Amino acid sequence: MYDVLKVRRDFPILEREVNGRPLVYLDNAATSQKPLQVIRTLSRYYERHNANIHRGVHRLAEEATGLYEEARGKVARFIGAPDPRGLVFTRGTTESINLVAHAWGRKNLREGDEVVLTEAEHHSNLVPWQLAARDTGARLRFIPVLDDGTLDMEAAERLIGPRTRLVGCVHASNVLGTVNPVERLAELAHEAGALMLVDGAQSAPHLPVDVTSLGCDFFAASGHKMLGPTGVGFLWARPELLEEMEPFLGGGEMIREVRLERSTWNEIPYKFEAGTMNIAQAIGLGAAVDYLGSLGMESVREHERRLGAYAYRRLAGVEGITLYGPAENRTGVVAFNLPEVHPHDLSQLLDQEGVAIRSGHHCCQPLMRRLGVVATARASLYLYNTEEEVEALVEAIARAREFFEAPA
């Protein structure tokens, strides 16, 4: 049975106070907290194994290389990737998608081609394709978001067609909490002869992920959202696609041979890992997926499903509140607004109560326009949150409403 109190003991930051009150950390869609297992892995690496990787033949270099490549294998297995050669370490989801847009997009997109995205995309899966379309003459098209926060799949079937070269979709929305049917989108993409890219930044930490079952060709995620360190993430791609793609960055480990006139490239995945990588962070990410694996992603998903439903139900009972996104088939992300209260003001008042939430457009300005708002407040739950913390959020919101409604 999932024991959330036992899990919480692995996260030392949850013991601290903020403004004299116990910390209630509900900003997990922005970044997750780190368990002792990850913190100690980072410390142990720097205390005992720190060296640059791959080309050194001394003991420390060999140890560091072994730990780094072991982490690659762990992450690949975590997402069900059949071949670790398809797993490229990056700085995060943003860099991963930029890599695809640059290395695949600029080589394969032509004038008149289409890239189909959704209205719910994070800027990281929109701006890189805007740049690629500008440089190649390709056109961007968008699957609408319905009023309930789900995708208009009938429109998707109309939009994905002979001109489509790639479909890109956020697996789980960082605003709406919607878990999108990326498997069906992958089917539609492949029927049209197109590729499928999945932004997994909000799914890999929270759902069991198997890239083979999803049917995607590219999958991107960030380590810091899934208990790992900042500064590291990954791109998984079918190895044959990586083989065909040109390098994204030049220099360092990505070369095979360099002459004054030309260079040749290393084998995959090293062709896309130029310069000194974030070695310690990648090893820390390996420890994070070990930790997630020890809990079991089905158990994590079930805990968040129950807690998210509880939070949605409790927040729905707050007078005047507007909730965004579907009531079911969602992650633990709940975006909301109170009438006549700016989300930034609400977030600041909640912080005085020790409750940490996010406010703003959440790097989804087109989706904000679709919702008819400039910004929202957002509480996002994870594997260490509890019903008591949800109650603390609801009570803090109630006190904030009293503050804003008090006569001047």
Q: Is the pLDDT of residue 196 over 60?
A: yes
The answer to whether the beta carbons of residues 127 and 101 sit under 8 Å apart is no
* Cα separations in angstroms, 364 against 182, 265, 325: 19, 36, 14
Active site amino acids: 363
Measured at the CA of 281, the angle between CA 276 and CA 286, to 5 degrees, comes to 120
d(CA 333, CA 364): 14
Verdict on whether the full-model pTM lies above 0.75: yes
Q: Which pLDDT belongs to residue 396?
A: 96
Nearest alpha-carbon partner for 163 in 138, 188, 143, 137: 138
Q: Which pLDDT belongs to residue 216?
A: 98
Nearest alpha-carbon partner for 201 in 36, 363, 11, 4: 363
pLDDT class for 398, splitting at 50, 70, 90? very high
366-381 confidence digits (pLDDT tens): 999 999 999 999 999 9
pLDDT class for 401, splitting at 50, 70, 90? confident
Query: % helix / strand / coil in the chain, to the nearest 5?
Result: 45, 20, 35
* Cα separations in angstroms, 328 against 80, 90, 323, 338: 26, 33, 13, 22
7-50 confidence digits (pLDDT tens): 999 999 999 999 999 999 999 999 999 999 999 999 999 999 99
Q: Which CATH architecture has domain 4-26+296-405?
A: Alpha-Beta Complex (3.90)
- The count of C-alpha atoms lying within 13 angstroms of the C-alpha of 64, restricted to the half-sphere facing its C-beta, is 24
Q: Is the pLDDT of residue 406 over 70?
A: no
Residue type, 319: E
Q: Which pLDDT belongs to residue 166?
A: 99
Q: Which pLDDT belongs to residue 407?
A: 63
Q: Is the pLDDT of residue 360 over 70?
A: yes
Q: Is the pLDDT of residue 408 over 60?
A: no
Average pLDDT estimate for 142-149: 98
Average pLDDT estimate for 202-210: 98
320-358 confidence digits (pLDDT tens): 999 999 999 999 999 999 998 999 999 999 999 999 999
CB-count burial class (<10 Å; 0-12, 13-18, 19+) for 117: buried
Q: Which pLDDT belongs to residue 212?
A: 97
Domain-wise residue ranges, the chain: 4-26+296-405, 39-294
70-90 confidence digits (pLDDT tens): 999 999 999 999 999 999 999
Mean model confidence pLDDT for the chain = 97
CATH class of the structural domain 39-294: alpha beta
